[in-house]
Chain A
Amino acid sequence: MTYAYLFKYIIIGDTGVGKSCLLLQFTDKRFQPVHDLTIGVEFGARMVNIDGKQIKLQIWDTAGQESFRSITRSYYRGAAGALLVYDITRRETFNHLTSWLEDARQHSSSNMVIMLIGNKSDLESRRDVKREEGEAFAREHGLIFMETSAKTACNVEEAFINTAKEIYRKIQQGLFDVHNEANGIKIGPQQCISTSVGSSASQRNSGDVESNSGCC
């Protein structure tokens, strides 16, 4: 399917906060309590519509365990958006947000849009982190905030789409250099030909021609 833009997302946060479930809920619209542990990285993709433009979200779902952090860092490169997830029923996952955020800021482009997500909002009775705390943390660090439930699908769509909207807004404002793939944004194939972007794309192509990458 063709798309106007492709955004790369990355989902980060402690192990067991529901990163993979959020992804699955968003891409497949289902909740699967039985799934494999994420080791390394998993992928998901889905089309969304923002302002009448088709946008493909390519989402990288990462391993949460501390020992994988060193590797997770290389996943940040070229991400336009990040979902930073904690579990509202486990305070320690909230406490670790600062170090995740540090990592994210350090290893990604400064324009990356970060959405803070308090997941498992369906487990109200076991809540350990107040919504206000999440909001305060987000405000303090300039993040967008939402509480979601991957189980009931509550706010899941919104979380991904609002992030996309924010990225799109930044593109409109010219904050993102959309021609640099390192920013996590790619212009869709048909756009290359029809818009002014074409020239830069063909430049890249001709570069490839000379070195015979075989990509084009």
Chain B
Amino acid sequence: MARAPGADSPKTEEARTSPIPGPGTPTGTPTRTPSRTASGALTAKPPLAPKPGTTVASGVTARVAAVTAGQVTSGHGAAAATSASTGQAPENPPGPGTGPPGTCEALVAVVTVTPAPEPAENSQDLGSTSSLGPGISGPRGQAPDTLSYLDSVSLMSGTLESLADDVSSMGSDSEINGLALRKTDKYGFLGGSQYSGSLESSIPVDVARQRELKWLEMFSNWDKWLSRRFQKVKLRCRKGIPSSLRAKAWQYLSNSKELLEQNSGKFEELERAPGDPKWLDVIEKDLHRQFPFHEMFAARGGHGQQDLYRILKAYTIYRPDEGYCQAQAPVAAVLLMHMPAEQAFWCLVQICDKYLPGYYSAGLEAIQLDGEIFFALLRRASPLAHRHLRRQRIDPVLYMTEWFMCIFARTLPWASVLRVWDMFFCEGVKIIFRVALVLLRHTLGSVEKLRSCQGMYETMEQLRNLPQQCMQEDFLVHEVTNLPVTEALIERENTAQLKKWRETRGELQYRPSRRLHGSRAIHEERRRQQPPLGPSSSLLSLPGLKSRGSRAAGGASSPPPLARRASVGPAPGPVVTAEGLHPSLPSPTGNSTPLGPSKETRRQEKERQKQEKGRDKERQKQEKEREKQEKERQKWEKEQEKEQQKQEKERQKQEKERQKLEKEQQKQEKKAQGRKLSLRRKADGPSAPQDGGNRSSASEARQDAYF
């Protein structure tokens, strides 16, 4: 893996690594990498961490000060760290990347929030053009090209309004008054439903700093962490990724970082391609409809909207079969709030290809299927809500479409959005299911709550206005963490629902690739596609590390191959055999296969084949080993599930008891109403709730058989 220069800001790093695939192994530069950013982050931290609170409160001057502080202490990580947590996240990537002009840009970007629209707008554009630079080979040469292209599609023509103008049109919103206009919250929102005052709890400085250090350490040994200590990575994602390192972490977790490195120049190429007017037309219409209350996207034709256009367009060329789906835009926008366009693009690619394949494809079958899966899971997570929705015949797609397709970016308060995305990048779609289940459980999960949802209309209204309390960051994460919905369960339900779908609706029109459940699955797939090259004594000698270790052992093989790959680069020979072994998996480097000049002597050829055979054998051996480990892992997972299932049963038992109680209450209420059902109730009474209980327990039993 060519992620050696690791831990400085994503931008610089990328600029540096793109020409040389791998100056060092992942473990090769441990001292250098963290120390650089560490120093930046650390020096920046003391002023930064307490600042968010104060900046939000005291407005512009404080924020400028914060950025300047970052700029003074170091040109790189510090600026990133500072601006990220002062609500300047969108501005930070260009900053550190371009050095002095970048930091200057960051400063000016802060000024955009002040009522000086004209110059601010200009410099914003400068900033965004400079952001084209480092990721792409010719930093300065690229900019005018893209701009002229954008111009040519009339994006810019006459639509460049000043931020102040745009903001004035938002003035009609009652939530925004003249004063609030000039301030953003710490995430860059000027208003709207996403605006979060200063209500949120902020993490103590020392804790934040500790976390940053831990993450920096992980970055410097990423593969090792992912393969051997994934549980720990997961835990840290659940605690929330430090905002200064979030962009980088997302790229590591999704492996978009490596994808970018392997495809250097590709984004630029996609940008230059003409693109299908059918898609470009729709994309253009959507640009000003993404987070219009975020400072980055508020200005028509501003750099946020430009970048959004660039990556959405690039995607339609990258995946012409999928084109553009409107729900991709908010996802792309969230990414852009954190990283420059090229990085955001590859991150988007990973989300669409690996995490949520099929979500944005024509027909939205994947979403509908997940809706069914979700509904099946709901029966277990909240039988009451499930029954209610079933009775009122409310299709899952009526309420979950936006949640799932936008990964809650337009549903939850922003602090929660970020926490959910942190977990999502690590654990995959499971998190989306869990969040949705938690939301439903707390919206429709009790008799009391259902009382106000007598009809479909009321229920839908309720689902559009979720209770604030259950969306609150800490509460939500806690609930999500404790919900026993595993990858295996989702996969099983997936199979079941797919079967049902085929029976009732025929074959799926669109067949998405296999969904990968988060970082580890992506990591493992990558390893399968690019298997180790040489004899694997080292591989086999690495035993499962701990008792828990089938998981760990599963990944233990990765560091050697990766190190080797980094130093060797995409060696053509082994790749060929790799393809032979896994014909179904396209190798990204497959094209570099030597074309075998016809003059090659047979002897050499044979020799090579012999060697290859040897390697093949070796590889098969490894493969077997891996399968074994995989099996062990599955076993372990099953065990874990069993345990969770036990807990689940316990919970359901309690739930049942509660329901019983509630029913009892209801009964009494009814009695009080003096209905003449008393006789019947006496006969049925004790058994009626029992009946319901039995039914649900029967279904539980059915579900339990699943595990």
Contact = CB atoms under 8 A, between A and B. Distances in A.
* Most chain A beta-carbon contacts within 10 A, residue among B291, B326, B450, B460: B326
Interface string A1-44: 00000101000000110000000000000111111110111110
B288 interface: yes
A89 interface: no
A45 B367 CA distance: 27
A68 to B, nearest CB: 7
Contacts of B360: 67
B689 A212 contact: yes
B172 A30 contact: yes
A213 B670 contact: no
Contacts of B692: 211-212
Contacts of B298: 34
Interface in B296-315: 298
A36 B401 contact: no
Contacts of B285: 15-16
Given A68-B326, A209-B670, A35 B292 contact: yes
B282 A43 contact: no
A67 B325 contact: yes
A139 B458 CA distance: 36
Interface stretch (B402-410, B560-568, B577-585, B627-635): B402-410
A113 interface: no
B397 A34 contact: no
B457 interface: yes
A37 B289 CA distance: 5
A215 B448 CA distance: 9
Given A15-B326, A70-B363, A40 B402 contact: yes
A212 B666 contact: yes
Given A16-B285, A186-B457, A213 B388 contact: yes
A74 B362 contact: no
A58 interface: yes
Interface string A38-61: 011111010000000000001000
Interface string A69-108: 0110011011000000000000000000000000000000
A71 B397 contact: yes
A33 B159 CA distance: 13
A32 B330 contact: no
A15 B460 contact: no
B391 A213 contact: yes
B397 A74 contact: yes
Given A37-B329, A70-B368, A43 B464 contact: yes
B454 A215 contact: yes
B447 interface: yes
A39 B405 contact: yes
Interface size class of A (residues with CB under 8 A): 35 or more
Nearest to B663: A212
Contacts, number: 120
Interface string B437-461: 0000000000100110111110011
A146 B298 CA distance: 33
A67 B391 CA distance: 28
A40 B647 CA distance: 35
A39 B402 contact: yes
A122 interface: no
Contacts of A114: none
Contacts of A58: 457, 461
A67 B666 contact: no
A75 B399 CA distance: 11
A157 interface: no
Interface in A134-193: 181, 186
A56 to B, nearest CB: 9
B364 A68 contact: yes
Interface in B404-453: 405-406, 410, 447, 450-451, 453
B454 A39 contact: no
A32 to B, nearest CB: 6
Contacts of B406: 39
B459 to A, nearest CB: 10
A200 interface: no
Nearest to A64: B326
A125 to B, nearest CB: 15
B327 A39 contact: yes
8 contacts: A34-B170, A34-B292, A39-B326, A39-B406, A67-B325, A68-B364, A213-B387, A216-B454
Given A43-B464, A67-B363, 19 more contacts: A15-B326, A33-B288, A35-B289, A37-B289, A39-B326, A39-B401, A39-B406, A41-B401, A67-B361, A70-B363, A71-B401, A74-B395, A74-B397, A74-B398, A77-B393, A78-B456, A212-B666, A213-B388, A214-B666
